Structure 1
Amino acid sequence: MTLFREINSLLFGLFLLVMSSLVYFQFTQTRDFMNQQMESDLNNTITSLGLMLKPHIESGDMATAETLVNVIFEGGFYRKVTLKWLADGKEQTWENPIVIHGVPQWFIDLNLFKTQKKESLITSGWMQLATLEVEGHPALGYRELWRVMNDTLMILSLLFILSIFTLRIRLNRILRPLHDVAFQAKQIAQRKFGNDIELPKTTELKDVVGAINSMSGQLKQIFSTLDDEVDDLKKDKLVDQVSGLPNRQYLSAQINNWLNEPGLGGLILAKFDWLEDIHSKYGYQGRDEIIKVLSKRMQKELPEISESIIARIANTEFAFLLTKAEHNKIEQYLQTLIRLINQEITKAGCTPNERFVLGVSERIGQMKSSDLLAQSDNALQQALRDNKISHWIDSEQPQKYSREQWRIKLEDSIKNNHFAFQWQPIRGMKNKEVIQREIFCRLNVDDQIVAAAEFMPFIELLSLGAQLDKCLLKAIDKQNILALAEEGVAINLTHDSLQDANFMPWLSGFLTRTTYPERILFELPESAVITSFDKCDKLADVIRAAGAKIGIDQCGRQLGSMEYLQKLQPNYIKLDQSFAYYEKTNQNKELCRALLNVAKGLNIDVIITGIEDEEQLAHFNLLKADGYQGYISPIEDV
């Protein structure tokens, strides 16, 4: 029972006791008063009647005596009058049946009033003429007692209702700080820290609210400190201090990630020798200032053309990794980059189209990081030899289908549910038991199984992600895959689904209809959470309302704050594969540990990805993560 109900019940009981006591005292006093009133009335009646009857009894006028008695019956509540002549013993009795109107019979049956009788001797001098006996009727007492109690109960009931209503409002106001404290405590338990509670006027409650505000503020500060620590470590380890751009280490990890995932794009290596001229003229401070201005412009303008990672990998060398771009987009990106560089060269007082060179390469099939970097470096060296601004090594990669052909074939395969599923077990770090399985989708196109690495880039380019996610979920449900995995199945959602206004209502209906919604683990990429947090937050509410869970994939890949973890509160996160890459180079162990501390502090499970062997697993085991995933546990057919 809540404190409000306990206090309300106590006050309700006390008030009811007081009211019952008042009703009881009013009842007994009214009954006693009416008894006295009826007794007094009976005494007066028998005295006056005796005096009126005396002369008529002396004269023997019985008719007049009877008339007088009838008058008495009509003017009062009397049940019986008995007149007995002493001379001859003659006795005459008058009875009057009285019906009590307006009083319920059950009330009369309580016998609250005893029968009252009075007897009087009528004399003439010393001579005794007759005896007169009058028996009263309690009708008056019942009628008045019923009226008084009715009025009393009505008034007290009205006062009771008003008092309870007033008490409820007042208690709500008094106890509102306690409700706020309880809500704040629940939020703190969920690692959510809102605004401070307004201090109440009540002294005792003010101390409680002050204490909870202080505790919330301190915990918020702790988690903010952890988040700042992760942010500082990222900036220290992965960001170039002059330009504010990612450094070589970050770029290398992201190239490795990108090549391990489906994608289209390319890499541009740039060498800006004109920056050395600036250094010679104005010193390193002037050079650094120009690098900052150039970096800001590149970060602002280039991502508008295509999603990319811009990094400074040496004093005068930059790299541009285009992660979602076709050939024509890379060309447009390159032209914009050349224009931007020439503008900054001109502002710096140098000659445009001189003293800088660009080498461009495009992703081909199953490339390794070293292959892509070597290809771009070869293009850059060729541009230097040819004394050109840029050189592009033409891959002349044969295209299996044109874009429009891909659209037709993908739409047909998705619409007809031509899915083939595989999954990879994700194991617990302690006991190595399967804690969930991540499902991977392949499509049957022209009677051939096409892997996600081949068709997913075109899914993104053609904006078919939402359609793919819907049909994929339907196929999983239809094939009863969820029944095979009690541990839960992790399903990655595409960026398109987050942008599609119809996807969330559809997903809510799907989760309502499916048999095992609690076994579905929806994963959102970190980049989508950062760029479209409000949509991800609403999607998370839909997912949790149905009993499903939510996770963040590629966590830690993006530079910047991890504050979104506290706001979104996912069930688990999967650390980006770059952390496994960093482990190979024995770098950024502090960053990985700090990120785990942030997640653990928020009661979020952490899964390490990209684990290839037992040695690597043993390294991450020291960090006390919850689970791991990678080639160490091979992919299996469903």
Structure 2
Amino acid sequence: MSLVKQLWLIILGLLVLAFGGSLFIGVTSSHDYIEREIRLKNADNANALALTMTQMPKDDVTLELLVSAQFDTGHYRLIELRTPSGELIERRQAEAGIDGVPGWFVDVIDFDVPPGQAGIQDGWRQFATLTLEGQHGFAYRSLWHGTLALAGWFLLAGLISLALAWWLVRGIRRPLQAVISQAQDIAQRRFTTADEPRTRELREVVQAMNRLSTVVGEQLGKEGQRLDALRRRLQHDGVTGALGRTTFLERLGVHLQSQDYRAGGILALIRVAHLAELNERLGYAETDRRLAGLVRTLERLAEDHADGLVGRLNGSDFALLLPGVDDIDDIRHDLHRHLAVWTQDASIPLSLPGALALYGPEDRQSDVLSALDGALADAEAQGQQRLNIVAEKHDRLFTGHAAWRDALQAAMQEGVQLARFPVLDDRGRLLHMESPSRLYLDGQWRNAGIFMPWITRLGLEAELDLSVVEASLKHIVEHGDPVGINLSAASIRDARFVLELQARLQAHPEAATELWLEVPEALAVRELTSLRSFCRELRPLGCRIGLEHVGANVTRIADLHDLGLDYLKFEEGLTTDIENSHEQRGILRGMATLCHSVGMLAIAEGVADPAQVPTLFELGLDGVTGPGVRSATPGDASGQ
């Protein structure tokens, strides 16, 4: 089909859509208005007539004469009098008078108007109930004539629009054909001037590009699904879908050692008591189904807190990790509510004792788990769904919302300190400096794991992120090093923050090109529209935009090609044991290939062992960062 024919079909389709939509809206609005007016008219007439009857004698002759007189006016389809017990006193009914309107239109419109009802009093007692329904054939006629008039006007407007469209299509046909010819020449690396082209050539170009896009998209999608299936097989429990014990404990260790908000949060252990007895009573298949349902319940709670994780530590023990959360009483309440559906099952309820504990940046993993094990044992001995809270060992810097707000705002006004962790490429060159924020609180610089939960609770994310941006731009101007900073999801959603960020980057255009902005992976999964808008606004300013802690949603990499992202940072769990795991290396190699296919850099986070650095670059990654990268480069894997 020629381009002109396609344009004509689009124009005709739009005209038909506009006509049909406008006609539908117009008829629907009129229908609703008229129906409402008829309903009110029925009610008003019923009340007026009932009032008249109330004031008149209640003998049969008088009532019959009054009803007949009203009915003979021809304005009513039904007038009916019934006693309070439902016995008929008087009734007049006529056929619906609908003339001059097609039957199909009446069937489509079909005014659904209830009759008006009113009570007739005889002194202090109710004498009867009056039911009255007016003739509304005039409503059908009015709406039918209005529809014809509206259709006539739209037909006239459509003819005028088609005439204008013909004139426009004729005017743009020649330049479109020239563009087609020029595009074909550029594809063949021949930069020639365009002659008058043929429409068939545009169709061939469009078809070829569509085929290319489809094939590439399908390949990327299949590769992402394959990698995700492999990752889940390696890292997740096959029965419930939760993270396996080794993977979960590795993630917990990474959180405790991190320099951002993940360093603090809540860890909960849930035990399925008497699991062996459940297997005997329910059978292994039904027990596995219930355990999988329990994990899905915990995952819903984890999803409410974006970066939450659920793991299976052994056959009966499950763990829930909520980084950046410190309201343990609120989490306990939510957890109790989520688990209630399993403990209140009328058939065979699950006994689900649990324990919760706050963890912090200076905690050791063994100490946290040991305290939870003890609290879990006490909970199991105390009741079916007892949730114990481990006594808090951390000294809070401040007490109460007001004290935290004052301290945080004062610290941000004094300035933000930026830590420095290098991100190196395969030649040991600096890509940028990872710069998590520090705030001076209670006499010393504190990392984000301590204050970020309160930043989030008090809604100060945008204020903190702007302070970090100012500090990073200042550092770039003074030292010239590229800097990578983290932005919170709340700031990305804040239109005012985006405008203020644009203003600061526009004020330092050279420094903006050395700024690397990192946003959470969860934003690309749950709020892709906000992320797309953010990238669209900031890309022209020259800064780099990427996702951090990528891992659980590798299948979404192929969907990010239209965002304009520059890089992805893969979470630490993907680099664990790559020297000994062929499948783990396959996952990383595939993810790096996916990134390169859509024009993004692939960077590994949290590389702790310098010996891993050469292997990571052999797998196709473009950069590495972490404790093992500070002194080690591909040429010097031993470190210092």
Q: Answer whether contact 1:274 1:356 (CA < 8 A) is retained.
A: no
> Which residue is equivalent to 1:171?
174
Residues 226-625 of structure 1 correspond to what in structure 2 (within 5 A)?
A: 226-261=223-258, 262=261, 263-300=263-300, 303-304=303-304, 308-326=308-326, 329-347=327-345, 349-350=347-348, 355-384=351-380, 389-402=386-399, 403-414=401-412, 416-429=413-426, 431-445=427-441, 448-477=444-473, 479-486=474-481, 488-516=482-510, 517-558=512-553, 561-583=556-578, 586=581, 588-625=584-621
Matched letter for residue 471 of structure 1? S
* Distance change in 2, residues 1:584/1:399 (3 Å): farther
Q: 1:474 to 1:562 in 2, by over 3 A?
A: same
CA, structure 1 residues 297+452, in 2 after alignment: closer, same or farther (shift >3 Å)? closer
* CA apart distance, 1:227: 1.4
- 1:18 corresponding residue in structure 2: none
Residues paired across the two proteins, number: 451
Distance 1:184 1:541, change over 3 A: farther
**How large is the RMSD of aligned CA atoms in angstroms?**
3.4
Deviation track 1:219-266 (CA, whole Å, cap 9, x = no partner) reads 122111221122222332233333333333442233123212334322
Q: Does the 8 Å CA contact 1:313/1:319 hold for their aligned counterparts?
A: yes
User: What fraction of aligned residue pairs are identical, expressed as a percent?
Assistant: 21
Secondary structure of residue in 2 paired with 1:468: helix
Deviation at 1:177, TM superposition (A): 6.0
When residues 183 and 575 of structure 1 are mapped into structure 2, their CA distance, relative to the original with a 3 A threshold, is farther
After superposition, the Cα gap between the structure-2 partners of 1:317 and 1:175, relative to the gap in structure 1 and judged at 3 Å, is: farther
For structure 1, list consecutive stretches of 5 or more residues without a partner in the other structure.
1-163, 186-199
Compute the displacement of 1:633 (Å).
4.2
Conservation of the 8 A alpha-carbon contact between 1:268 and 1:319: yes
Change in CA separation of 1:634 and 1:313 when aligned onto 2, cut-off 3 Å: same
Q: Distance in 1 between matches of 2:168 and 2:339?
A: 75
Conserved in 1, the CA contact under 8 Å of 2:536 and 2:563?
no
1:377 and 1:530 map into 2 onto residues whose CA distance is: 34
Shift, 1:546, TM fit: 0.9
Separation of aligned partners in 2, 1:315 and 1:182? 65
Deviations 1:96-118 (CA, angstroms, capped at 9, x unpaired): xxxxxxxxxxxxxxxxxxxxxxx
Secondary structure at the aligned position of 2:354 is classed as strand
Q: Where in structure 2 are there 5+ consecutive unaligned residues?
A: 1-166, 189-196, 632-640
Matched, 1:221 2:224: no
**Residues 376-407 of structure 1: CA deviation (Å, up to 9, x unaligned):** 22322343456673433313422121242121
1:139-165 CA-partner distances (Å, limit 9, x unpaired): xxxxxxxxxxxxxxxxxxxxxxxxx99
Please report how far the alpha carbon of residue 305 of structure 1 lies from its aligned counterpart in structure 2 after TM superposition.
7.6
The Cα of 1:558 is off from its aligned counterpart by 4.8
TM-score using structure 1 length: 0.63
> Secondary structure of the equivalent of 2:419?
strand
Residue 58 of structure 2 is matched in structure 1 by none
Q: CA 1:560–1:259 in structure 2 vs 1: closer, same or farther (change >3 Å)?
A: farther
The amino acid that maps onto 1:287 is: T
Separation in 2 of the partners of 1:166 and 1:401?
Answer: 70
Rg (Cα) greater in structure: 1
Q: Compared with structure 1, are the counterparts of its residues 407 and 181 closer, same or farther at alpha carbon in structure 2 (3 Å cutoff)?
A: farther
* In 2: Cα distance, 1:178 partner to 1:612 partner: 55
Asked if the contact 1:305/1:332 (under 8 Å) is kept, the reply is no
Q: Secondary structure at the match of 1:269?
A: strand
Indicate conservation of the 8 Å contact 1:234/1:560, yes or no.
Answer: no
Structure 1 residue 409 displacement after superposition? 1.2
| TM-superposition CA deviations, 1:285-330 (whole Å, max 9, x none) | 222332343333443356548963223333332111122322xx32
Cα distance in 2 for residues equivalent to 1:590 and 1:236: 13
